Amino acid sequence: MSSRQATAIIDLDAIRHNFDQVKLRAPASKVMAIIKADAYGHGASKVAEALVAADAFGVARVSEAVKLRESGIGQPICLLEGVNDPEELNLASVYELQVVLHNQEQLELMANRGARRHVWVKVDTGMGRLGFSVEETPSVLQKLGHQGLLGLMTHLADTGDRRSTMTDQQVSRITSLANDLDVPGSEVLSIANSGGLLALQKPPGDWVRPGLMLYGASPFDDLDPIPSLQPAMSFGAPVISVRAIKQGESVGYGGIWTADKDSTIAVIAAGYADGYPREIAQGTPVLVNGVRYPLVGRVSMDMICIQLDHSYSEEAHSVKVGDRAILWGDDLPVEEIADKAGTIPYTLLCGVTARVNRQHRSNRRG
């Protein structure tokens, strides 16, 4: 029996396969698996439990780290945005979290409290967002005191474009900074995200920080799926109605789609409140029993409609109430759906909402 609600089926074996791909590309590097935003919608605790081989995990918020600790995750956990007040600093120490240090306020906070352990110093080499400039980094390190310095971290800004020259510049900035410094720990570098791992011949750094590629999706702007990765999420929902409509009748809010012939419509129990984008194009494919059908009419809060007797398919009438429609997943790449929605896989995966039932599957143990 399929439950009458949207489900995201998460293949933990696929995530482990993708992790192995990270190791293949950067065999000498340690891996900080990025599982912020509930592991990009895949369920952070379950993903962390599956990734026993990860050397560390990275999250954005203290609350995310605390949840992971409370679900029994013992590996190092890094707060990628660091701590921003005494309470967060205290939680970081209670839960033994690594912190990224990226601004003067955090430096004061930590210096005042004598908290200097498990710190990554973030250097802005071109992202223009978080981090100290290359020039100010030496004085930051001096003020911090190097006891417990884990290393220097930088974030690549333009890896969505495989041919960007920005990446090489950023890598050489952090590498030459590290060479110039004479501070224990500062020789340890954490650089590459998924784009860096997938685009660079030899991903640099002692640590790599893959996020999206662990979930099997492409970080590149071209939105071509990456053959060596396995998509981990199958996002779907049951068909809850199959009905005939007459030529000239319209479907959904605003009547933006009107049948040009007598047609059969299937209604699927997923909408924008589940994370299916409302802005998506008419005609976007939805997969039912292995056949693609076009989305018709506006995406509602709880439902979408597809046209069954469209020329895409010969098998219109094999669709029945209770069948599972796939919105993205196997045979319907999230990259393709992102393209139809004018967005990127990141936002679709992170946008799957809390009411969607996550079902984790694995054939492997450990």
Near ligand PLP by CB under 6 A: residue from 167, 175, 194, 313: 194
- Find the shortest distance in angstroms from Cβ 143 to ligand PLP: 22
- Find the shortest distance in angstroms from Cβ 36 to ligand PLP: 6
Q: Radius of gyration over alpha carbons of the chain, in Å?
A: 23
* 193 binds ligand PLP, rule: CB under 6 A: yes
The yes-or-no answer on residue 340 being catalytic is no
Which range of residues in 3-11, 193-201, 267-275, 318-326 is near ligand PLP by CB under 6 A? 193-201
| 103/154 Cα distance (integer angstroms) | 13
Near ligand PLP by CB under 6 A: residue from 204, 210, 216, 345: 210
H or E element in which residue 287 lies? strand 285-288
Catalytic residue among 23, 253, 261, 320: 253
Of 69, 79, 127, nearest to 101 (Cα)?
79
DSSP string for residues in 214-241: GGT---STT----TTS---EEEEEEEEE
| 224/217 Cα distance (integer angstroms) | 9
Near ligand PLP by CB under 6 A: residue from 219, 275, 329, 345: 219
Near ligand PLP by CB under 6 A: residue from 22, 31, 33, 34: 34
Amino acid letter, 79? L
Which range of residues in 91-99, 205-213, 240-248, 318-326 is near ligand PLP by CB under 6 A? 205-213
- The DSSP call for residue 136 is T
**Tokens of residue 228, six digits:** 């060596």
Centroid of chain to Cα 161: 18
In the shown chain, the binding pattern of residues 133 to 162 toward ligand PLP, with x for contact by CB under 6 A and - for none, equals ----------------------x-------
Question: Annotated active-site positions, please?
Answer: 36, 253
Interface residues with ligand PLP (CB under 6 A) are 34, 36, 80, 155, 193-195, 209-212, 219
